[in-house]
Structure formats: structure tokens, C-alpha cells
Amino acid sequence: MTDFFEREIERLKRKDSYRWLRAMEGPAEARMRVDGREVIVLCSSNYLGLATHHRLKAAAIEATERLGVCSAASRLIAGNNELYRTLEERLARFKGREAALVYSTGYMANLGVISAVVGEGDVIYADALSHASIVDGCRLSRATVKVFPHNDVDALEQLFKSDTGFRRRLIAVDGVYSMDGDLASLPELAKLARNYDALLMLDDAHGTGVLGERGEGTAEHFGLTGPEGVDIEIGTLGKALGSFGAYVVGSRSLREYLINRSRSFIFTCALTPPALAAAMAALDILDEEPAHRQRLWESVRHFREGLHRLGLSTEPSVTHILPVMIHDRQRTMALSDRLLELGVFCQGIRPPTVPPGTSRLRFTVTAAHTRADLDRALEAAEKAFREFALL
């Protein structure tokens, strides 16, 4: 059997699809040591720089000293510690919804929600660029799955018009598409869901904390907060909020239903007290310290404009995720390695994460980056792209 693993690894290497873990040293900040080299990190999801914020660390330490480092069971057995109730109430208020339910990860939330809400006899309409966790949730559900072209609401409506006989309909989309940095056509999707009596599920992992006047996310950005816009919203505590875990917000009946039917909620260990406490501190910071979000968008504008001055397109991005298309997978990974040598860590993205022919460098700017960091990264990018004859 070990021969099989070795053959598969060699096959991946021949296809230029082999992946490995880089050695990361130090706290999750704008600068870290990567594979032994100090670099500027431009591929982190610590968008507001809260992962090392003193208030999150203090909250985690206090929770550790008071409650320990492990919840020691699933929530339905003995793991539903006192912090869950407070955090879920805070998340529901933050998102303007009736109730929230915390999951262990965003991946587990998508798997657990989709497979609980729909099944045989139902249909899911998924955007062609949906995150892998949505794709896998669709597969697990046993529902009929229909994929519509990215953000093509007209094509989705044609599917609705031609489909009959399904018990329930679910539209599943991302808020911010993590590889392209563009946004879901949420107003049109919400209107379509109402017109055709479908549920609309939004995975706002990369929008929460970043978009909207208060950082509520993609729905707030489009003025669709509350139950009239999105039926089910999923988000993460481990990106802009600087902690770990995920959540679902919606109606009280949705929460109660998921507690009883969502397998990835029922059969997994509860989150640790430090993670829960840190997430609550992050929500306080979103309300009380809007400067983090303002600094993020100032830095995004500066870095995007710098890339554009070099002649590098970041389309279709309108957010803090800035893709630069290279197309060729080997050149993409070689360029990523060269940037690392020059002191900038920007992970190359290649199939199967993105479709064939769309390999790219995916820059993510955070509030923790200084203007000097960004200017240094732009200098490295200019040098590397010129060496590869891409400028």
C-alpha cells in the first residue's frame, strides 16, 4: 500500500501539482520568518491585524486561566461552556439576525448546514466559483446540484424556470470570492430567491469584519441586512476576527434545526474557551476601533494603485484580495518562489484550487501592513516580474 502513496506523490510532482507545508515562525503578523527567511507576508487572512491584538490576547489568557484550554466534549454532551451563549448572542446582534450557532470551522459549517438543509428530492444552485467547502457540502447532501456560471443571475433564472418537481431549492454562493476578490451579485440573487421561493445561503468568510460601514460584511455592503436579504449566512471567526471557529446566523428555528440535524455540529468537539473569548473581544473592537478597517482600505488602495502603475491588472477584484493572473502554473510557482527570495511571501495559486489556465499570484493586504511594507513589496514585485519578462 505504501507503494501507492509514493506513486501518487511522484505523479503529483510530474503534474506540477505537488504541495508542501512552508515553515512559518513567529506570530501571525505582517512580517514573519518563512522557510528561514524574514519576509513581508501578503497572503494572510488576518485582514484587520487582530490576531495579535492585545485585547484578544488578554481575553484569551483570562479565559484560559478561568476555564482552561479545552472544552473536553461536543456541545451536546458536556462542551457547551458558558462563553458560547454570550458569543452567539453577540454574533446575532452583530449580523442583525434572530440567532447564531458557532461551528468549529467554516469548512465544517458549510458541510453541516448544506447537508442538513437539503437532501434527496431537493436542488442546490451553486456558483461555478464556489469555495471547496460549498462544493463538498453539496456532494454530501445527496441533493441534485446545478452549477451556474459565475455571477450569471440570468443563467440562474433560466435554471429556475426549467426546473420543476423539487421539494426545496437552495442558492449557495460566496460573498467575497476568495481567489478573485469580486463580490456576489447579492441584490439580484436575493430578489431571485424571493421570486422563486428559494433559500439563499451566503458564505461571507472573506467579507465579515471588512465590508460595510460597521464591518458586518457583504450583506451590509449591499444594504441587505436582516432576514429580508439572506436566509442563511455563514462566516468565520478565523480571518478578519483574528480568532478561530465559524458561525451560522439566521432564524431561531434554523438554529434549533441545525442543533438537531447538522452532523458536523453534533459530532465534533466544542471550541476552546480562549478561542471563544478572543472572538468576543474582536467583535468589541469592530464596534469600538473602526480605524483598523479604515487602515485596511487605505492600504488596499495604495497597493492596488502600485500594482496598476506597474501595468499589472488585479481584475476582477474590488476588495482586499488582489489577484494578478500569470496563467501558466509553472511560471506562477517560480514567480512565487522568486518573490520569497526577494522578501515577499505571496503564495502562487494553481489548479485544482482555480480553473486550468488561471494560475495567479494572490496578494492579500491587511491593516497590519505599513506603507513601507507595501512599498517594499511593490519594489520586489517589479523586480521579479521584469525578470520573468512580464512587465
Task: Kindly report, residue by residue over 275-307, the tens digit of the pLDDT.
Answer: 999 999 999 999 999 999 999 999 999 999 999
Q: Which residues contact 125 (CB under 8 A, 6 or more apart)?
A: 146, 147, 148, 156, 159, 160, 169, 170, 171, 172, 198
Task: Look up the CATH superfamily of 17-47+290-387.
Answer: Aspartate Aminotransferase, domain 1 (3.90.1150.10)
- Of the options 3.40.640.10, 3.40.50.300, 1.10.10.10, 3.30.430.20, the CATH number for the domain spanning 54-288: 3.40.640.10
DSSP state of 183: B
Q: Domain coordinates of the chain in residue numbers? A: 17-47+290-387, 54-288
378-387 contacts: CB < 8 A, separation 24 or more? 378/303, 378/306, 378/307, 378/310, 380/339, 380/342, 380/343, 380/344, 381/307, 381/310, 381/312, 381/339, 381/344, 382/310, 383/342, 384/335, 384/338, 384/339, 384/342, 385/310, 385/312, 385/335, 387/338
- What pLDDT score does 185 carry? 97
Q: Of residues 95, 131, 206, 221, which has the active-site annotation? A: 206
Q: Which residues contact 133 (CB under 8 A, 6 or more apart)?
A: 106, 107, 109, 110, 111, 203
Q: Of residues 178, 243, 336, 359, which has the active-site annotation? A: 178
Side by side, which strands form the sheet with 348-349? 321-327, 359-364, 348-349
Tell me the C-alpha to C-alpha distance, in Å, between residue 274 and each of 48, 51, 81. Answer: 19, 13, 11
Dump pLDDT digits (tens) for 199-220: 999 999 999 999 999 999 999 9
Pairing relationship of beta strands 344-345 and 37-41 according to DSSP bridges:
parallel
DSSP state of 50: G
Distance CA 188, CA 105 (A): 29
- What pLDDT score does 15 carry? 87
Concerning whether 239 is annotated as a catalytic residue, the answer is: yes
Using CB atoms within 10 A of its CB, is residue 189 exposed (0-12), middle (13-18) or buried (19+)? buried
How much is the pTM? 0.95
- What pLDDT score does 21 carry? 95
Pairing relationship of beta strands 123-127 and 99-103 according to DSSP bridges:
unpaired
- In this prediction, the residues of the chain whose per-residue pLDDT falls under 50 are none
Concerning whether 150 is annotated as a catalytic residue, the answer is: no
- What pLDDT score does 61 carry? 98
Distance CA 110, CA 103 (A): 10
Tell me the C-alpha to C-alpha distance, in Å, between residue 53 and each of 27, 90, 161, 281, 353. Answer: 11, 19, 50, 10, 31
- What pLDDT score does 228 carry? 72
Residue 157: Cβ within 10 Å count: 16
Distance CA 176, CA 24 (A): 26
Cell of 38: 524574514
Q: Of residues 53, 95, 221, 239, which has the active-site annotation? A: 239
Concerning whether 115 is annotated as a catalytic residue, the answer is: no
- What pLDDT score does 229 carry? 83
Distance CA 274, CA 178 (A): 27
Residues comprising the chain, all counted: 391
- What pLDDT score does 224 carry? 92
